[in-house]
Amino acid sequence: MGNIFSDRISDVPRSFIREILKFTIDESVISFAGGLPNRDLFPLEEIKKATQKVLETAGKDVLQYSTSEGHEELREWIVNRYKLKNISVQSDNVLITTGSQQGLDLLGKTFLNEGDNVVIEEPGYLGAIQAFSIYRSTFFPVPVTPDGMVIDLLEQAISNHLIKLIYCVPNFQNPSGISYSEENRKEIARILKDKKTILIEDDPYGELRFLGENKPSFHQLIPENTVLLGSFSKIVVPSFRIGWIVARDEIMEKLIVAKQASDLHTNYFGQRIIMQYLKDNDINEHIQKIRQAYGGQREAMVAAIKEFFPEETQYTQPEGGMFLWITLPERLSAMEVFNKAIQRKVAFVPGDPFYVNPKGVNTLRLNYSSVDPETIRVGIKRLGAVLKEILA
Amino acid sequence: MGNIFSDRISDVPRSFIREILKFTIDESVISFAGGLPNRDLFPLEEIKKATQKVLETAGKDVLQYSTSEGHEELREWIVNRYKLKNISVQSDNVLITTGSQQGLDLLGKTFLNEGDNVVIEEPGYLGAIQAFSIYRSTFFPVPVTPDGMVIDLLEQAISNHLIKLIYCVPNFQNPSGISYSEENRKEIARILKDKKTILIEDDPYGELRFLGENKPSFHQLIPENTVLLGSFSKIVVPSFRIGWIVARDEIMEKLIVAKQASDLHTNYFGQRIIMQYLKDNDINEHIQKIRQAYGGQREAMVAAIKEFFPEETQYTQPEGGMFLWITLPERLSAMEVFNKAIQRKVAFVPGDPFYVNPKGVNTLRLNYSSVDPETIRVGIKRLGAVLKEILA
C-alpha cells in the first residue's frame, strides 16, 4: 500500500481548463476559454417569482428528502417536451440527475468494467473523458468532421473490438461546434442495428439552434441502443445542477441503484423551482432569446475571424450551441499561441485536453456565448495579431 | 457481452428500505421505517427569507456555474464551527458535496481498487455499503456494541489484512443509535497510529445530542488518518443535498478531481441559501429545538417499549440522533415480524439490509425522529402486541 489512492483516480486527467481559467480572473483578459451560458439571459425575475410561489404553496414538503427518480411533474414535462419533437418516452424512463455530468458518472457505474471499450469523439468533451476514466475504460477516439463521425473509422472500431459505449454530442458539439448530418446519423444507426452497443446521445445544446434545420435524434433512429442525456443548464440556469437521463426500463433499473449510491436524489428544491418556472413562463420564447443572442455572437466571431485571422486558419461554422473550433496552420502549437495570447489579454482553450492522447495540437476552442459582440471583435483582433506575429 | 452491464452494478444491494417504504404510503400505517428528520422543525420561514435575500443581493451570480470546491464563505463557516469543537481545519481542506452520500461515492472513487479491504460496522449504514460496493471493495464487518467497535475484532482484521478504509458513524450510529465511548475511540486511534489506513468518520447526527457529553472526534485523535464527513441535512434541511468532506491536502486534491468527474459542483443556489440562513439565524438555538424534540420522542419510544414489548426484548439507549435498535429473542426473525406488523399498520426496518451477509436476523431499526410522542406510543403498542402474539 505504498500508494494509498485508487489506480483510477491517477488515470483521470486533471482539468486543464480549470488551470486556464485562473488566467482569466484578470478582468482585462477577454476570455473565450470558459464554457458558460450568457448570464445576461438568466431569467432572474422569473426564478424569483417561481421560488416564492414554491415556498408559498408547497411549504415544508420542498425541504424534505425526496425520491431518487426525481420530481414526477418535472419528468412528465420532459416527456411532453420530447413529444413535441416526435421522441416518444415515458416518465418512468426519465431519471433526474445532478446535472448532465452526473448522467455520465451513472452510465459509467452502470456499464463499465475495467478495460471496457468506449468510442468517443475526437476532439471530444473533457467531462466525458474524465467521467469514464474513473471506470478505467479503454478509449477509441473517432475523429469528427463538420458532418459528424468518420464512418469508416467508427465501423472499423466496431468490427474489430467489442465496443460497449459510444459517446457523442451530435448537436453543436463541445468542443468543435459541429453537428452530425442526417445522413451521418443514419449511417451510425445502420452500423449499430442489432448490436448491443449503447450510444449515449448527450444533448445539452440541442435547443440552441440558430441556423439550419433540426436533425433526427438517435433516440428516434435506434431507440433500443440509445441513452439520451438532457439538461436545464443551457436553457434555464446551470447553478441548480439539474439534468436528466432517458433510458429503457432494464437500464433505468440499474441507473436508479447507481443514483442512490451516488447522492440519494437530486436537490429537490431546485427541481420544484424549475418546474414552477416552466409552468409560469413560455420556455420557447426564452429559448428564442438565447438563440438570437448566441446567433449574433457567433456571427460577430466569424466576421472577426475573417477580418483578423491569418488566411490559412480554418474554422467550423456552428449552427447552434456555444463553441467554435479553430484549426491553425500545422506548424503552430495552440499551447504556444496560448502563452503569447495571454500576455495580450486574450484567452481560449488549446485543443490538447479534448484529445485522449494530447500532443501539442494546432487546434483550439473558442466560446462565444459568454462574450458580447463588441468584445468578441476586440478579442479576436488581439488573437489575430498574435497569430500573425507568430507566423511572421 | 451477454450481460451489457458492469459487474459492479450487479453487486450493489438494492435498497430494501425503498421497498419497505412503499408499504408506508398508506397513511393509516404508523411508520418507524423511514430515516427522515422531523419536518415540523424545518425552518421554513427563515429559509424563505434567506432565499429572498440571496436573490435580491447576489442576483444572477447565484444562477451561474460555480467552483467544484464549493462556496468559499460556507466552507469558512464550517471551519469556524469545527473551531468551536476544538477541531482544527482550513477551508482548503473542506469540499462541499451533494449530500454526505456523495462524500462516500467520492471516497470510493479516490481510494478503492477492486478487492480493496474496507472495515464497516455491523450493523452498518446501508448507503455506505452501496457506495463502496460500486467500487467492488471487500467488506470486513466489525460488530458494534453500545460502547463502539469490538476492539479485538478490529485489531484482528487490521493485523491479518491490509485495510484501506474504516467506515464508521461514531455518534448515534445509523442504524443502531449507539455511540463510541471515549475509551473505544482512543483504542481505535492507538491501533491506527502509524498505519496508512484511512478512517472515515461520518458524522451527520453529531450535533443532535440530547443526553450525555460530547466525545472527542477521530479528527482530534488521529487527524492524519481521518476523513470527516458532515451534512446540513439533519440540522437545517435535507432537500438541498448539501454536505461536506474534510480531508488533508493530498487527499483533497484527488477528491476535487473525483468531484469534477461526478457532477462538476454542488448546486450553488442551495449553498448560498444555506449560508444566508446561517448568517441571519442562531443555528445553536435551532439545533437546541431539534435536540429537545428528538430527546422527547426517544423518551416516549423507550417508555412505550418498556410498557408494551415482551420482557426479553433488548434495545439501545441512544444519547442523540434518530434511531434505536431492537434485538428480539433469538428465535424470532425480524422479517417475519415485519410481515405481521404491516397488517397491524405499523412499520419498521428489519435488520437484514444493515448486514453485508443478511441471514434472517432478529434485529430491527426504529426511527423516532419523524413520529410524534403520542403516535410513537400507539405504534409501539401495536408492535408489542404483534411480538407477544408471535412469542405466544
With left for phi above 0 and alpha for psi between -120 and 50, is residue A263 left, alpha or beta?
Answer: alpha
Cβ–Cβ gap B110/A135 under 8 Å: no
Is-cis flag, bond preceding B123, omega within 30? yes
The C-alpha of A381 sits at a distance from chain B's nearest C-alpha, in angstroms, of 28
Cβ–Cβ gap A241/B52 under 8 Å: no
Q: If you measure CA to CA, which chain B residue comes closest to A47?
A: B55
Contacting residues for B374 by C-beta, under 8 A, at least 6 apart: B300
Cβ neighbours of A18 in B, within 8 Å:
68, 260
**A379: number of CA atoms within 13 Å, CB side?**
27
Name the least confident of A161-165, A355-359, B42-46, B377-381.
A355-359
What is the CATH architecture of B47-280? 3-Layer(aba) Sandwich (3.40)
A44-280: same fold as A7-42+285-391?
no
Q: Are B4 and A111 in contact (CB under 8 A)?
A: yes
The residue among B52, B97, B257, B274 with the most chain A CBs within 10 A of its CB, best to mutate, is: B257
CB distance from B266 to chain A under 8 Å? yes
The A residues from 114 to 153 touching B (CB cutoff 8 Å) are 114, 116, 127, 130-131, 133-135
Cβ neighbours of B267 in A, within 8 Å:
98, 239-241, 267, 270
Cα–Cα distance between B327 and B350 in angstroms, integer?
A: 10
Domain residue ranges of chain B, discontinuous segments joined by +: 7-42+285-391, 47-280
Q: Considering CB atoms only, which of A7, A99, A263 is closest to B241?
A: A263
pLDDT digits (tens, 9 = 90+) for A316-343: 999 999 999 999 999 999 999 999 999 9
The burial of A299, by beta-carbon neighbours within 10 Å (0-12 exposed, 13-18 middle, 19 or more buried), is given as middle
- Which residue in this structure is represented by grid cell 433526427? A216
Alpha helices (runs of H) in chain A, residue ranges in sequence order:
7-11, 16-23, 44-58, 72-84, 99-111, 126-133, 151-160, 182-192, 218-221, 249-263, 268-280, 283-308, 334-343, 373-391
CA-closest candidate to residue A307, choices A389, A387, A377, A391? A377
- Read off the DSSP letter of residue A150: -
Query: For residue A1, is pLDDT > 50?
Result: no
CB distance from B224 to chain A under 8 Å? no
Determine the pLDDT at residue B1.
Answer: 47
The B residues from 71 to 100 touching A (CB cutoff 8 Å) are 98-99
- What is the mean predicted confidence (pLDDT) over A27-53? 95
Alpha carbon separation from B300 to A29, B155, B294, B371, B372 (Å, rounded): 64, 38, 10, 10, 9
Cα–Cα distance between A62 and A370 in angstroms, integer?
A: 32
- Read off the DSSP letter of residue A282: -
What is the CATH architecture of A44-280? 3-Layer(aba) Sandwich (3.40)
Determine the pLDDT at residue B47.
Answer: 97
Strands A323-327 and A314-315: antiparallel
Cα–Cα distance between A251 and A92 in angstroms, integer?
A: 11
The C-alpha of B306 sits at a distance from chain A's nearest C-alpha, in angstroms, of 31
Beta bridge partners of B121: B142
The whole-model pTM stands at 0.96
Determine the pLDDT at residue A2.
Answer: 60
Strands B163-168 and B117-122: parallel
The residue among A112, A232, A257, A369 with the most chain B CBs within 10 A of its CB, best to mutate, is: A257
CB distance from A18 to chain B under 8 Å? yes
pLDDT, one tens digit for every residue, chain B (392 residues): 468 899 999 878 777 777 777 777 788 999 999 899 999 999 999 999 999 999 999 989 999 999 999 999 999 999 999 999 999 999 999 999 999 999 999 999 999 999 999 999 999 999 999 999 999 999 999 999 999 999 999 999 999 999 999 999 999 999 999 999 999 999 999 999 999 999 999 999 999 999 999 999 999 999 999 999 999 999 999 999 999 999 999 999 999 999 999 999 999 999 999 999 999 999 999 999 999 999 999 999 999 999 999 999 999 999 999 999 999 999 999 999 999 999 999 999 999 999 998 778 999 999 999 999 999 999 999 999 999 999 98
Pick the CATH number of A7-42+285-391 from 3.10.310.10, 3.90.1150.10, 3.40.50.12780, 1.10.1060.10: 3.90.1150.10
CB distance from A47 to chain B under 8 Å? yes
Cβ–Cβ gap A262/B64 under 8 Å: no
Q: If you measure CA to CA, which chain A residue comes closest to B114?
A: A6
CA-closest candidate to residue B172, choices B282, B307, B35, B38? B35
pLDDT digits (tens, 9 = 90+) for A64-95: 999 999 999 999 999 999 999 999 999 999 99
CB distance from B59 to chain A under 8 Å? yes
pLDDT digits (tens, 9 = 90+) for A190-221: 999 999 999 999 999 999 999 999 999 999 99
CB distance from A36 to chain B under 8 Å? yes
- What is the mean predicted confidence (pLDDT) over A268-281? 98
CB distance from B185 to chain A under 8 Å? no
How far apart are the two ends of chain B, measured CA to CA in Å?
54
Percent of chain A with pLDDT over 90: 92
Q: Are A130 and A15 in contact (CB under 8 A)?
A: yes
Cβ–Cβ gap A267/B98 under 8 Å: yes
CA trace torsion A185, A188, A193, A199 (10° rounding): -90
Cβ neighbours of B164 in A, within 8 Å:
1, 4
The residue among A263, A269, A369 with the most chain B CBs within 10 A of its CB, best to mutate, is: A263
Sign of the Cα pseudo-torsion (B2, B5, B8, B12, in order): negative
The C-alpha of B343 sits at a distance from chain A's nearest C-alpha, in angstroms, of 25
